[in-house]
Amino acid sequence: MQSLQKLITRPLLSYRWRFHTSCHSQQDMLKGKVDKWKGVTVDLGSPDCGLEGTYIQTSLRELDAFAGMLRKSLKQWKTEGKRAVWLKVPILQSRFVPVAASQGFQFHHADKQYSMLTTWLPKDHCKIPHFASHQIGVAGCVLREDTKEVLVVQDRNRETSHMWKLPGGLSDPGEDFGDTAVREVFEETGIKSEFQSILTVRQLHNYPGAFGKSDLYIVCRLRALSHDINHCADEIIGCKWTDVGELATTQSTSLISTHVARLVLHGFREGFDTIDIGMKELPAVFKNMTYKLYHRQIPDL
Amino acid sequence: MQSLQKLITRPLLSYRWRFHTSCHSQQDMLKGKVDKWKGVTVDLGSPDCGLEGTYIQTSLRELDAFAGMLRKSLKQWKTEGKRAVWLKVPILQSRFVPVAASQGFQFHHADKQYSMLTTWLPKDHCKIPHFASHQIGVAGCVLREDTKEVLVVQDRNRETSHMWKLPGGLSDPGEDFGDTAVREVFEETGIKSEFQSILTVRQLHNYPGAFGKSDLYIVCRLRALSHDINHCADEIIGCKWTDVGELATTQSTSLISTHVARLVLHGFREGFDTIDIGMKELPAVFKNMTYKLYHRQIPDL
More confident residue, B84 or A61: B84
The rounded distance, in Å, linking the Cα atoms of B255 and A282 is 8
Last residue in a domain, options B73, B88, B120: B120
CB-CB under 8 Å, A174 with B214: yes
For chain A, what percent of residues have pLDDT higher than 70?
88
Instruction: Identify which of A109, A210, A299 has the shortest CB distance to residue B110.
Output: A109
The rounded distance, in Å, linking the Cα atoms of B100 and B70 is 8
Give pLDDT tens digits for A47-73: 888 775 433 445 777 888 889 999 999
Q: What is the mean pLDDT of residues B105-132?
A: 95
Q: Reduce the DSSP state of residue A260 to 3 states and report it.
A: helix
CB-CB under 8 Å, B212 with A111: yes
Torsions phi, psi for B131 (to 5 deg): -75, 170
Same domain, yes or no: B218 and B286: yes
> Which of A49-58, B72-81, B91-100, B143-152 shows the lowest mean pLDDT across its residues?
A49-58
Nearest-Cα residue of chain A relative to residue B285: A254
Confirm whether A112 is domain-assigned: yes
Same domain, yes or no: B98 and B139: no
CB-CB under 8 Å, B210 with A263: no
Same domain, yes or no: A144 and A108: no
Residues contacting residue A159 through CB under 8 Å, at least 6 positions apart: none
Give pLDDT tens digits for B250-259: 999 999 999 9
Residues 158-197 of B with CB under 8 A from A: 158, 170-174, 176-177
* pLDDT for B13: 30
Same domain, yes or no: A63 and A151: no
Q: What is the mean pLDDT of residues B104-129?
A: 95
Give pLDDT tens digits for B136-189: 999 999 999 899 999 999 988 767 778 999 999 999 999 999 999 999 999 999
The rounded distance, in Å, linking the Cα atoms of B136 and B183 is 14
Instruction: Identify which of B136, B259, B296 has the shortest CB distance to residue A293.
Output: B259
Give pLDDT tens digits for B182-240: 999 999 999 999 999 999 999 999 888 889 899 999 999 999 999 999 988 888 899 99
Same domain, yes or no: B280 and B145: yes
pLDDT at A4 over 90: no
Give pLDDT tens digits for A209-246: 889 899 999 999 999 999 999 988 888 999 999 999 99
Min distance B48 CA to chain A CA atoms (Å): 21
Min distance A3 CA to chain B CA atoms (Å): 8
CB-CB under 8 Å, B93 with A98: yes
| Virtual torsion, Cα A216, A217, A221, A226, nearest 10 deg | 120
CB-CB under 8 Å, A132 with B293: no
Residues 112-151 of B with CB under 8 A from A: 112-116, 129-136
- Under DSSP, the state recorded for A38 is S
Q: Are B116 and B155 in contact (CB under 8 A)?
A: no
Q: How confident is the model at residue B65 (pLDDT cuts 50, 70, 90)?
A: confident
Instruction: Identify which of A136, A177, A298 has the shortest CB distance to residue B263.
Output: A298
Instruction: Identify which of B1, B211, B289 has the shortest CB distance to residue A109.
Output: B211
* pLDDT for B258: 95
Confirm whether A294 is domain-assigned: no
Confirm whether A92 is domain-assigned: yes
Same domain, yes or no: B212 and B282: yes
Number of structural domains in chain A: 2
* pLDDT for A31: 87
Angle at A292 between CA A289 and CA A297, to 5 degrees: 145
The rounded distance, in Å, linking the Cα atoms of A233 and B207 is 37
Structural domain including A85 reads 16-120
Residues 207-236 of B with CB under 8 A from A: 208-214, 216
* pLDDT for B277: 97
Same domain, yes or no: A107 and A144: no
* pLDDT for B26: 55
Q: What is the mean pLDDT of residues A124-152?
A: 95
Q: What is the mean pLDDT of chain A?
A: 87
Last residue in a domain, options B67, B91, B120: B120
The rounded distance, in Å, linking the Cα atoms of B191 and B297 is 28
The rounded distance, in Å, linking the Cα atoms of A29 and A72 is 7
Instruction: Identify which of B64, B98, B176 has the shortest CB distance to residue A91.
Output: B98
Confirm whether A127 is domain-assigned: no
Residues contacting residue B101 through CB under 8 Å, at least 6 positions apart: A91, A92, A94, A113, B117
pLDDT at A12 over 70: no
* pLDDT for B70: 93
Task: Please state the length of chain A.
Answer: 301
The rounded distance, in Å, linking the Cα atoms of A197 and A273 is 10
The rounded distance, in Å, linking the Cα atoms of B296 and A299 is 17
* pLDDT for A44: 87
Q: Which helix (H) or strand (E) holds B135?
A: strand B134-143
Same domain, yes or no: B101 and B62: yes
**CATH number of domain containing A202:** 3.90.79.10
Same domain, yes or no: A156 and A233: yes
Same domain, yes or no: A68 and A29: yes
* pLDDT for A151: 98
**Strands B84-90 and B114-120, sheet pairing:** antiparallel
Q: Are B116 and B86 in contact (CB under 8 A)?
A: yes
Give pLDDT tens digits for B249-287: 999 999 999 999 999 999 999 999 999 999 999 998 877
Confirm whether A4 is domain-assigned: no
**CATH number of domain containing A61:** 3.40.630.30
Same domain, yes or no: A104 and A165: no
Last residue in a domain, options B53, B88, B120: B120
Q: Please list every residue in chain A whose beta carbon sits closer than 8 Å to the beta carbon of residue B93.
A: 98
Torsions phi, psi for B76 (to 5 deg): -65, -45
* pLDDT for A38: 85
Same domain, yes or no: B147 and B286: yes
